[in-house]
A and B are shown apart, each in its own frame.
Chain A
């Protein structure tokens, strides 16, 4: 079991949070959906993992490289 973080690759606003703490996610399953460039852009699990914590809230502004969630793989 390894802990790691999920970061956003684009600057934008958190539009929806689609996962919750403790949830088991498959690879590529979205954790949050950002709104940027008028697109709904998912930030997804890089690997199958368990969500330990989501550190952003809906409406937050995020910058490229910001941590969105802590996960355990």
Chain B
């Protein structure tokens, strides 16, 4: 056979590189039920679709070339549900998948190839931080900066998983992503506890430093939390299924469509008394196509629900206030959460539907301390700069600035359930504030004033001056939204918006 010797050498080199790092580390992972980089890539991609890049790359340092197959990252392209994606999978068994010259070059190449060709990028991350001694000294850190580009201008979706100790560059890749899933037990932080213990004499437990609770409940950096690598990869695939390949395309349309069982029973899911709480997610799930609800940041700022889903097969983004938490009063964190969700949907041409059942923004000293007025305006800026089709629907009530922020009058279509109550504040509070009449002091006068104030706050009072395009029966919601979306998605830009939020900062 021609080239026998060279082929033999080629195959031996490829085999060695695919074995990754230390056999002991690989065995430890297996014992702990944690997948290695190549197993993760295999699970992510459709069978036999992986085209690897950089299999024969190694560290730039001659003395560790033998110890750095692929320089600690498995990179390339392949297909997810028959759609092309770029992938970088950290190989922690090779020097902790630490950041170094060739390691960075490989990831950057995947990233740029995705950007230039309109392909989503998936990062399966672990990272010990900057590699020692590569980043030491002025030239070391200088080299780390050369050619590095951090800004994500949302040309194509980035979906990342935090699957182990993820510091430095690995953490920053995740932060810049449009969707981040984290496996419990993994850590996302700027530096490890080893560094913090020396730098600021703080002995942090890694969970406190960057565990799943911190990032799903306090910082909101993580969009979903799972128990295993397998579930994390399933979440990445599910996320990508709602998104187009890039910002110049409309989202994919699913072909299997079924209504949820409660689609025409919404009136049984919402209490008639406006003072009673309920979980709006049951309503959202009933409106959307069956089993298409995909919550984003479910554990963070629970007053706001932000979820991807489908209506008649089309991807939509749902923004809803949830009376189950804080009575549905929008707090500062919920403004951040909604703004970042508007950015995601607008950047990738996903129409937005706002479902309002809110007593207003959560006023009070605590909210002001947490910069509520600024947060409300950031939320409003995201809303007003967005060009994606928008529908605003009031369910039971929507008061004051929150009515405007929940896209009331700002969306392409504003509508209300017949139960809608829309005003500058809750009528019961308004009587106090405007007329200084309290129910306990002048009960009869209070009742009369309440009646007067309430009569001006109905859905029909919004519909009469055509500030609402329609008043609907709750049980007709799904049909109405599907019909309106069919109109709004006919825009003569083939469903592609202006993307004025594409450079919105990655973290709020």
* Chain A residues close to B by CB (< 8 Å): 9-11, 36-42, 63-64
Minimal beta-carbon separation of B182 from chain A (angstroms) = 21
Which B residues are in CB contact (< 8 Å) with A11?
A: 364, 366
Which B residues are in CB contact (< 8 Å) with A63?
A: 366
Tell whether B429 is near chain A: CB-to-CB under 8 Å: yes
User: Contact at A40–B326, with CB atoms within 8 Å?
Assistant: no
User: Contact at B277–A38, with CB atoms within 8 Å?
Assistant: no
Which A residues are in CB contact (< 8 Å) with B327?
A: 10, 36-37, 39-41
User: Contact at A37–B366, with CB atoms within 8 Å?
Assistant: no
Report whether over half of chain A's contact residues are helix, strand or loop; otherwise say mixed.
loop
B347-387 contacts to A (CB < 8 Å): 359-360, 362, 364, 366
Which A residues are in CB contact (< 8 Å) with B359?
A: 37-39
Minimal beta-carbon separation of A10 from chain B (angstroms) = 5
Minimal beta-carbon separation of B334 from chain A (angstroms) = 12
Given A42-B277, A63-B366, A64-B366, 13 further pairs, Cβ under 8 A: A10-B327, A10-B329, A10-B362, A37-B326, A37-B359, A37-B362, A38-B275, A38-B359, A39-B323, A39-B359, A40-B277, A41-B326, A64-B364
What residue of chain A has the Cβ atom nearest to residue B428's Cβ?
A: A38
Which A residues are in CB contact (< 8 Å) with B326?
A: 9-10, 36-37, 41
Which A residues are in CB contact (< 8 Å) with B277?
A: 39-42
Q: Complex Cα distance A39/B328, Å?
A: 9
What residue of chain A has the Cβ atom nearest to residue B323's Cβ?
A: A39
Q: Complex Cα distance A64/B368, Å?
A: 13
Q: Complex Cα distance A9/B325, Å?
A: 9
What residue of chain B has the Cβ atom nearest to residue A12's Cβ?
A: B327
Minimal beta-carbon separation of B18 from chain A (angstroms) = 46
Which B residues are in CB contact (< 8 Å) with A40?
A: 275-277, 327
Q: Complex Cα distance A36/B428, Å?
A: 12
Which B residues are in CB contact (< 8 Å) with A64?
A: 364, 366
Tell whether B126 is near chain A: CB-to-CB under 8 Å: no
Tell whether B426 is near chain A: CB-to-CB under 8 Å: yes
Minimal beta-carbon separation of A14 from chain B (angstroms) = 15
Minimal beta-carbon separation of B87 from chain A (angstroms) = 38
Listed from nearest, the 4 A-B pairs whose CB atoms lie closest are A39-B327, A37-B359, A38-B426, A37-B329
Q: Complex Cα distance A40/B324, Å?
A: 10
Which B residues are in CB contact (< 8 Å) with A36?
A: 326-327, 329
Q: List 10 A-B contacts (CB under 8 A).
A: A11-B364, A36-B326, A37-B326, A37-B360, A37-B426, A39-B274, A39-B277, A39-B329, A63-B366, A64-B366
What residue of chain B has the Cβ atom nearest to residue A15's Cβ?
A: B275
What residue of chain A has the Cβ atom nearest to residue B363's Cβ?
A: A37
What residue of chain A has the Cβ atom nearest to residue B276's Cβ?
A: A40
Q: Complex Cα distance A33/B295, Å?
A: 27
Minimal beta-carbon separation of B376 from chain A (angstroms) = 16
Q: Complex Cα distance A63/B359, Å?
A: 18
Minimal beta-carbon separation of B412 from chain A (angstroms) = 29
